[in-house]
Structure 1
Amino acid sequence: MPVIPVTETLAVGPQLTVDDMADLAAAGYTTVVNNRPDGEQPDQPESDDLRAAADRHGLTFLHQPVVDGEITQAQVDAFARTLAHSDGPVAAFCRSGKRSVTLWALANSQTADIDALVATASAAGFDLTDLLDKTVHLRGR
């Protein structure tokens, strides 16, 4: 199961498979968020197949696709709602995990210190040194 804990309630990672859903459920995750658009790469599993596997293991599955470099405020808000309303830990994934961790950081950027968010992401292995620029761009400042 290739997810990396970012916080006590969120782990992110690269592309998950149908087989990973059983491992996520056994590890205590309750929600899986797919941040990849279907068809981004020809060899990736379809969201419908992942959803069916998640359902079989009692996981909530959400497909919230984000195009790399084109995150919108609506997508950030949807991800924040998912985190706020999940009844347990969330595992989010994309191609590498960076889009998912970026969504988390942007969702928290109005209430948490940017440097602390960057440090938390860095501790999980993700470089978000451009987070301030992304927040400024996202909010149109």
Structure 2
Amino acid sequence: MATLPLTETLSVAPQLTVEDMADLAAAGYTTVINNRPDGEQADQPLSDDLRAAAIRHGLTFLHQPVVGGEITQAQVDAFARTLEQSDGLVAAFCRSGKRSVTLWALANSETMDVDALMATAGAAGFDLTDLPDKIASLRGR
């Protein structure tokens, strides 16, 4: 399991497994956000199985699925609320981690400079050069 820190309290990761829930709990995480819809690939674990494993290890688990090119403002708002309400370290994941990073960036696009958001994402290994277009699309510009 490899998590990539974005902030002091949020890290992102590629697809997590049932076994990763124990490692996350041991590393001090308190919340796991699954941004991947079930059924994208035949071999991905089901969200219900991940939730059960997370709960067994004392983690809060939320399934907030998004499709990469179709992120809505409601999904961004839900992600932001989850981060605001979470106590402790949060790990968000999808297939590669990029959707989770994009949700974080969009959730912070009104309070942080776009270049800073892209630089933070870049430092974690994610290319968000399309972020200004996504922001404009969400805001109807």
Normalising TM by the smaller chain, what interval?
over 0.9
1:48-67 correspondence runs (5 A): 48-67=48-67
Match of 1:84 in 2: 84
Q: TM-score, normalised by structure 2?
A: 0.99
> Cα RMSD between the aligned structures?
0.5
**Aligned to 1:69, what secondary structure does the other structure show?**
helix
Structure 2 stretches of 5 or more lacking a match? none
How much does 1:111 deviate? 0.6
SS at match of 1:92: strand
Deviation of 1:114 after TM superposition, in Å, equals 0.4
Q: Where does residue 115 of structure 2 map in the other structure?
A: 115
Structure 2 match to 1:68:
68
Q: Which secondary structure does the structure 2 equivalent of 1:8 belong to?
A: coil
Q: What residue is the counterpart of 1:35 in the other structure?
A: 35
CA-CA distance at 1:139 after TM superposition:
1.0
Aligned 1:5-24 pairs, distance under 5 A: 5-24=5-24
Q: Partner amino acid for 1:102?
A: T
Kindly, what percent of the aligned residue pairs are identical? Answer: 83
Cα distance in 1 for residues equivalent to 2:133 and 2:35: 21
Amino acid at match of 2:82: T
Match of 1:98 in 2: 98
In 2, Cα distance between the equivalents of 1:5 and 1:98? Answer: 13
Moved over 4 A (4+): none
Report the TM-score, using the length of structure 1 for normalisation.
0.99
- Offset, 1:118: 0.4
- How many pairs align? 141
Shift of 1:116: 0.3
